Structure 1
């Protein structure tokens, strides 16, 4: 059974929240020197990109103010 696109939207929101928690209170220098946080943020970005790629075109067209392709590109998908 194919997963509903709303669940992919939940994954996107969840991983954006995770990234915010992971880097909260960190300077960029602290972030880049923290291997675990860099890895965690990278993984969350991958999940966001994978989830965005599963959003149907009709939903993307309805919300065309969201840069769907840019998000996919940024996240490496």
Structure 2
């Protein structure tokens, strides 16, 4: 569980960074390449951290879509030219707050 706590703290840090970068501003995210790239990197790192959580932890939280998070990371890393930034914005504004609430 100790390692899980490290990754959970890291996930929370990534979420805080994402919120700092986008400032709740869709237009900023969509139009500012620096903000978009920083946000995507934090989303990638967040997803990678979730994949390092123990199986025990994941089994205790079946309400979190672990496979979808991992799949999203793969899209960011491997399909970066085909990213739908509107869909990413939905992840930022809907899924990330949901994840944060569950993990707290």
Tell me which interval the TM-score lies in, with the shorter structure as reference length.
0.7 to 0.9
* TM-score calculated relative to the size of structure 2: 0.64
Point out 4+ residue stretches in structure 1 off by more than 3 angstroms. none
* TM-score calculated relative to the size of structure 1: 0.83
Are 2:5 and 1:6 aligned? yes
Cα distance change, pair 25–16 in 1 and its aligned pair in 2 (3 A)? closer
**Structure with a larger share of its residues in helix:** 2
Look up the match of 2:54: 56
1-side partners of 2:47 and 2:24: how far apart? 25
Aligned residue pairs total 74
Q: Provide the aligned C-alpha RMSD in A.
A: 1.7
Q: 1:39 aligns with which of 32, 37, 40?
A: 37
Runs of at least 5 residues in structure 2 that lack an aligned partner in the other structure: 78-104
Runs of at least 5 residues in structure 1 that lack an aligned partner in the other structure: none
**SS of the residue aligned with 1:55?**
coil
Bigger RCO (CA 8 Å, 6+ sep): 1
